[in-house]
Each structure stands twice: as structure tokens, then as C-alpha cells.
Amino acid sequence: MADIIQLLPDHVANQIAAGEVVQRPASVVKELLENAIDAKAAAIKLIVKDAGKTLIQVIDDGIGMSVTDARLSFERHATSKIRTADDLFNLHTKGFRGEALASIAAISHVELKTKPEQDDVGTHLIIEGSKVVSQEVIVTLKGTSISVKNLFYNIPARRNFLKSNSVEMRHIIDEFHRVALTHPDIKFVMFQNGSEHFNLPKSNYRQRIVNIFGSKTNEKLVPIKETTAVVGISGFVCKPMFAKKTRGEQFFFVNNRFIKSAYLNHAVSSAFEGLLKEGMHPSYFLNLEVAPKSIDINIHPTKTEIKFDDEHALYAILRSSVKHSLGQFNIAPVLNFDRDANLDTPYKYKDKKAVAPSVEVDKDFNPFREDKAQQVRTSFKKETTSGWESLYVGLESKSTKTQHDFSEVQFESDEENTQIFEADKTVNVSSKIFQIHRKYVVNTIKSGMLIIDQHKAHQRILYEDFLQYLTVKEAVSQQLLFPLKLYFSAQELEIINQLKEDLEHTGFVFSNFNDSMVEISGIPTNVPESEVSVILEQLISDVQNEVPDANFSATDLLAKSMAKSLAIKTGQELTQMEQEHLVNSLFACKEPNVSPNNKVTFVTMTVDELEKKFM
């Protein structure tokens, strides 16, 4: 039998390895930024064009590379970080496998300029598809500048799988945040299509968080500091009142490396137990310092998953640390039987200084002086009470009459009504529509009965209404007496800005739009003012989670998101009139059978099916 196993060429092996390391442009950004940090850079600049498909360039002022190192860095498994297998459990750098640059060079055009500080000239390399096109001596600044152009140019199938520029750009910003957050001592600057997107100066950890996520983030943060023999924990969690429906602002860093851990996330969430509404998620920025020998980083190609030596102890310490900080800063309730709440200083007087009382003395006062005594005596003289009978002239005594009939008492104000529709006094008690378990609306029909899910049905009704507003662009808006100011991160504001025109067609009016704040002066007529922030947060979450591609319809997603936020919730009791209106509106829709997310809105049960239940 002929031999059929053969060694793959290096360029093919590199392309296969690139499939694990480089999944999208954001993967390249992550690897290049981490290399710049390992090079001990004090300032790093990231330049991106067309969401990384055309250009990704990272410029740093690190130690640079010699001619030999520059050429060798693009070889597979060439690294300066480890020498033996034992070094894998004593890592203090970002990269260590030596696969990143080789994988990137296999699927793109790479241009490298580098120079150590002690050398007079540097090295200029051009590599296309793992092949070195040119190597020259160049005059350049200290540090390294690496440009990655035409990503996946030789793998068209992989390039076709990339999403739209807005989606890929969001992934790049996510990676930029993860690297910049854990290194506040390094200056980061990011340019997107020629415009400056981020400029993060060297600062402390709290200021770095504020610079990335907006100035309003500062008041949300609760510091955490705990040092034990197992782990050192530092960072911040956000107050429960600022919890979000999305998991976007959740960051774990282990030894200055971003990781994903559902187990540790559960520890933080359990510390917030009883403080958050259902469906809300806490935000946190936590750094964990553990012994390098107690973790294994080399279990995932992207190094975002870590295996811990003792996860149970880490879980307990993290949970108790977060809980302790929430209680220490009066965020969580404290059970203390010796504490008298009546002695607490009111909040508005907490920072006020006590004012010493002043005593005023009348030096000329003499109680034995006759004129004073006479004044005292005359001041208490009893006044005459003659003519008191005149006060009651004209009043008839009703003592001989019967007692008051309170049924004739009338109220000045109308009775408060919190229902959506006014109650119809002519509703027949034996109506054919009724509600069960505050979830389903049941209606009798000729063939049997109709069971409607009130939440999904109302979603369909609102969805088609919003689609009509967005298409016709004639939605009615109600003006707010006081404009509503909402604060978001730069990434969230970019999403809102992309959907701004469609939001205006539904009835939103934006009076101000800047780098950290949105001011809304008008909202749709059927949207309560208290729900505006919830709707926008839900919209941002839907845009991020659905990861829309080229066929993505912003109009459709906006209508779905707003319908989901404003639809009648399960557990809401409906009046007879509301039930009838829901049924009539549902069957006036173009597609009443399914919700906007293709879930069934109603089911029918015939008399024959009911009879079979009793056979």
C-alpha cells in the first residue's frame, strides 16, 4: 500500500493555525496590542480602517527588535517568553506561544518597522502570505510599528464570513477596552478611519474606567480591596441602582489578563442577591492577583479561559468581598441589633457643620422696676367677654333633628383610576372574554375557544404599529416639559447615533447629542417617560446580541425592540375593555399568528378536542 501521509507545507500549516488564532480583525488587534505591552511600551497608538479589513496598525515606543529578532518573530513557535514546559506555569507576559505573528502574516500583507533604542537604524520588513518580499535598513523612531493590510486576502471564504463594518468595529472596540482597562499606566490612542476615537492618558484605574465609559460612571463605582493568601482582589463594582439588562460592562482580569468565567460571574451575581430586579445584571471591573503556578492559561487558543487550582475558595472569597464592600458603603442593608436608626444623621444634613447657638441678654432689664411690673400685671388683664351671644346669631340649632346622613357627602376630586381604559359600565357580566392566571386571554368562538398569550399578542400589535410609523415617518411625538438626559458609553452612543434617524421617525426628538450624553425633548405618545432609558438599553442590547450582518434591517430591529419593551407583561391584570381591545387589535394585524420573534400568539381548541379530554 502506498504511503498517503505527508507533511504540510509551512504556509498551509500557518493558514490552518491562523484559523484558531485569527477569527476576525479584532483578534489581530488583541495580539498586536499585547505584543506592544510586552515590549514595555509607555504609549500605544492603534489605527484602524474599514473595521480592520483594509488596515490595522499598532505603533508603540517599546524596546524594539534587532534585525535577527524581527525576521525570527514571524516564524512559528519562535518566542522569547518561555524556554521549557515549566515556564508555562510561571508566565508574566501576554503572549508566549509564538503563533500570533506567524498566523497573521500567513493571511495578510504585513509591514514591520522596528528599532531598538541603542541602534542607529532599524529594520523594515514586508511579508505577504508568509513570504518575505523585502528586508531593508530604515531610519525610524525607537519602538515598533506593524501594519496588517488586506486581512484574509488569500482566503476569500473566511473574508466572506466577516460581518458588516459596524459589527466588526464593535468587536475591535471591545478588545481595545479589555487591553486598555488592565493597563492604566500606559497611554492608549485609537483612530478609526482618520478620526480619533479614544485618547486615554496615563492615569489610575478609576480614572481609566471613567475615561472609557463616560464621566457619569464615577458616581456608580463602589471600590473593592481584599488581600488573602489565595487571591488579591481589587477594582470596582457598580451600585445596584445602575444595573443593566446587558452584560457588556463585566470585566474579569487575572494577573492583568482579561478572562471569561461564568463561574466567577455567578459569584459576583450571588453577592448582589436581593439587590437587583429580575433580568438585570451588575457591572464590575475586577482584578484578581493569583500565583502564576495556581492557574493554567494554555487551555484556549485565544487565552480568554483560565483553569484555576482552587475555584471553590476563589468563589467564596470573591463573593464575600463584593458583599462586604456593598455593605461597607451602605449599598446593601446591614442587620445590626445594637444600632438605633433614629440616631442616624439625615442625608441632607450629613455634610453640614453644626452652628453654635448664640445667647442674647438685655442688660437694661430690671424685674423690680415699677413700669415693667405694671406692664406685666396689665398684660395679663382678663378681657371682657360681653357680647359673646352675638357670635351665634343666625345659626339654627340642629340638635333636635336626626343625625347627619353621610350618604349625601360629595367628594371634590374624582375617584382615581389607574386602568388603561375607562371602565365601561354597560359591560355584560356574562362576557365571552376573560383572563386566566394574568397571562392568557380566553375568547369563545363558534368551533370552541381561543387562548391568546397577552404578552406575545401585544408585541405583534405594537410591532406592526412601529413598523408603520417607521415606514410612513409620520409618528406623533409628545414634548417633555423638562428634557431627559441619559448617559451612555462611547460604544453605546455610537449605536444610538446609527439608529437616530429611525428613532426620530417613531416619535423621539433629540435636542442634544454629544460624546457622553443624549438629551431627549420628545418621546412617542404611547411611551411613558420612565420607560425611555429601558427602551434604549434594550435596543442597544438587541443590536449587540443579534450581531447583524449585511442583511440587517435597523428598522425591523428597532420595531422589535420597542415592542418587546412596551408590551403588556405577564402578570398584568386586564380589564374587560382591555381584553376586548387586545383581541380585536390582534386580529386586525397582518400576521396575527406569530409574534415578532416567530413565537405563537394564540392557539385554538375545538369542542371535539374538549370532548376527547373527558372520554
Per DSSP, the residues of 429-474 read: TT-SEEEETTTEEEEEETTEEEEEEHHHHHHHHHHHHHHHHHHH--
**Domains of the chain, start order:** 10-201 (3.30.565.10), 206-328 (3.30.230.10), 435-603 (3.30.1370.100)
Distances from the Cα of 112 to the Cα of 115, 333, 348, angstroms = 10, 57, 60
110, β-bridge pairs: 127, 148
Could you tell me if 434 and 450 are in contact, meaning their C-beta atoms sit under 8 angstroms apart? no
Could you tell me if 89 and 34 are in contact, meaning their C-beta atoms sit under 8 angstroms apart? no
What stretches of 30-182 adopt beta strand conformation (E)?
Answer: 43-49, 55-60, 109-115, 122-128, 131-138, 143-149
Which parts of the chain register pLDDT below 70?
1-2, 11, 14-20, 77-98, 298-303, 330-351, 370-431, 473-475, 545-554
pLDDT at res. 423? 44
Cα 27 to the chain's mean position, in Å? 22
pLDDT at res. 420? 46
Could you tell me if 285 and 209 are in contact, meaning their C-beta atoms sit under 8 angstroms apart? yes
Closest CA to 242 of 269, 207, 285, 277: 277
Q: For 38-80, what is each residue's pLDDT tens digit? A: 888 999 999 999 988 899 999 999 999 888 888 888 887 666 6
**In sequence order, what are the residues at sequence separation of 6 or more whose Cβ sits closer than 8 angstroms to the Cβ of residue 206?**
218, 221, 223, 236
Collapsing DSSP states into helix, strand and coil, what is residue 34? helix
Q: For 196-226, what is each residue's pLDDT tens digit? A: 888 999 999 999 999 888 888 888 899 999 8
Q: Is the pTM of this model over 0.85?
A: no
Could you tell me if 475 and 505 are in contact, meaning their C-beta atoms sit under 8 angstroms apart? yes
**In sequence order, what are the residues at sequence separation of 6 or more whose Cβ sits closer than 8 angstroms to the Cβ of residue 193?**
48, 49, 50
Collapsing DSSP states into helix, strand and coil, what is residue 341? helix
Structure-block grid coordinates of residue 131: 513570504
- Cα separation of 551 and 561, whole Å? 17
Collapsing DSSP states into helix, strand and coil, what is residue 44? strand
598 half-sphere exposure, CB direction, 13 A CA radius: 0
Collapsing DSSP states into helix, strand and coil, what is residue 236? strand
Could you tell me if 259 and 302 are in contact, meaning their C-beta atoms sit under 8 angstroms apart? no
Counted residue by residue, the chain has a size of 615
pLDDT at res. 275? 84
Could you tell me if 258 and 286 are in contact, meaning their C-beta atoms sit under 8 angstroms apart? no
pLDDT at res. 295? 76
Structure-block grid coordinates of residue 420: 388603561
